[in-house]
Amino acid sequence: MRQMIIGNWKMHGLLQTGAELAQEIGAAIGPISDARDVVLAPPFTLLSHLAPLLARHGIGLGAQDCHADAEGAYTGDISAEMLADLGVSHVILGHSERREHHHENNALIRRKVQRAREHGLCPVVCVGESEQQKEDTLAQAWLAKQITECLPRDFDGILAYEPIWAIGTGKAATQQDIESRLAFLHDALSQHLETDDKSTRVLYGGSVKPEDAASILAVPGVGGVLVGGASLSARSFLGIAQAGLPLAS
Ligand code: PGA
């Protein structure tokens, strides 16, 4: 299965700086996208501005959230259909920052997943344990609950394992931790989903940097990485996207 590299720009980027960053990444992405799928998820305000540029370079256009309802009186919100209308292909859902700051729960995230699918968007659903739940049995129970409650049984999107303690802290999980968590997640997916588990990509996210990207991308079961901070520089994002590929050596 091809690995996927997603850059989550979060609330960063203006018209000019966003276009410059996307242009710099696009100019160098050719040989990488022969081997891996690359998606950039800028803020909503840059989606339509960057859509043609990213399409030209074969980079997927991702959004960072969508509303659970089709349309309605929701001031400030963005629907899945609006995203599809702009050419968005992927949507990140259930990121821990949205769970924390916008009080999103598993039931709401599941409705968003279904809405996204209805409009042909590929959901990238984030799950992950907190620092307090790091211990194996607690973390496993929490992750299993997130999977069963966020994902419909016919889910056909992407899962991103993002331990909360690793996000934006500079402390990525170790290769061993990622490997054992991913084995657990693949198992939980195969129990929960009607579809064949092997068709579900599971990404790792949390302080991925160019220095450790090759070892993370070599972990068995890793379907790619979701990159936050390091996706805001073309050099570091490209370093991650090409890590471990023959062209990097
Ligand atoms: P980070 O963010 O790479 O800055 O830790 C990852 C994420 O939040 O998706």
Establish if 205 belongs to a structural domain: yes
Q: Which amino acid is at 13?
A: G
Of 55, 107, 62, 106, which is closest to residue 80 (Cα–Cα)?
62
Establish if 249 belongs to a structural domain: no
Please identify, by atom number, the ligand 1 atom nearest to the C-alpha of residue 172: 5
**CA 108/CA 111 separation, integer angstroms:** 5
Query: Which residues constitute the domain of residue 177?
Result: 4-241
Q: Which amino acid is at 206?
A: G
Q: Whose CA is nearest to atom 9 of ligand 1?
A: 228
Which of these is catalytic: 95, 104, 129, 179? 95
Catalytic (active site) residue 95: yes
Of 199, 239, 244, which is closest to residue 217 (Cα–Cα)?
244
207 Cβ inside 6 Å of ligand 1: yes
Cα of 148 vs centre of ligand 1, distance in Å, is 24
Which of these is catalytic: 57, 162, 179, 186? 162
Establish if 132 belongs to a structural domain: yes
Q: Residue 221 corresponds to which tokens in the numbers above?
A: 């079961």
Please identify, by atom number, the ligand 1 atom nearest to the C-alpha of residue 208: 3
225 Cβ inside 6 Å of ligand 1: no
Cα of 164 vs centre of ligand 1, distance in Å, is 9
Establish if 9 belongs to a structural domain: yes
**Residue 249: its pLDDT value, please?**
46
Q: Which amino acid is at 60?
A: G
Record the pTM.
0.97
**What are the DSSP E strand ranges found in 88-140?**
90-93, 122-127
**CA 206/CA 225 separation, integer angstroms:** 9
Establish if 190 belongs to a structural domain: yes
Could you list the pLDDT tens digit for every one of the 249 residues in the chain? 899 999 999 999 999 999 999 999 999 999 999 999 999 999 999 999 999 999 999 999 999 999 999 999 999 999 999 999 999 999 999 999 999 999 999 999 999 999 999 999 999 999 999 999 988 899 999 999 999 999 999 999 999 999 999 999 999 999 999 999 999 999 999 999 997 656 799 999 999 999 999 999 999 999 999 999 999 999 999 999 999 998 744
Q: Residue 25 corresponds to which tokens in the numbers above?
A: 């990444």
Report the CATH number that the domain containing residue 42 is assigned in CATH.
3.20.20.70
Count of domains for the chain: 1
179 Cβ inside 6 Å of ligand 1: no
Q: Whose CA is nearest to atom 1 of ligand 1?
A: 228
116 Cβ inside 6 Å of ligand 1: no
Establish if 248 belongs to a structural domain: no
Q: Whose CA is nearest to atom 3 of ligand 1?
A: 228
Catalytic (active site) residue 103: no
Establish if 168 belongs to a structural domain: yes
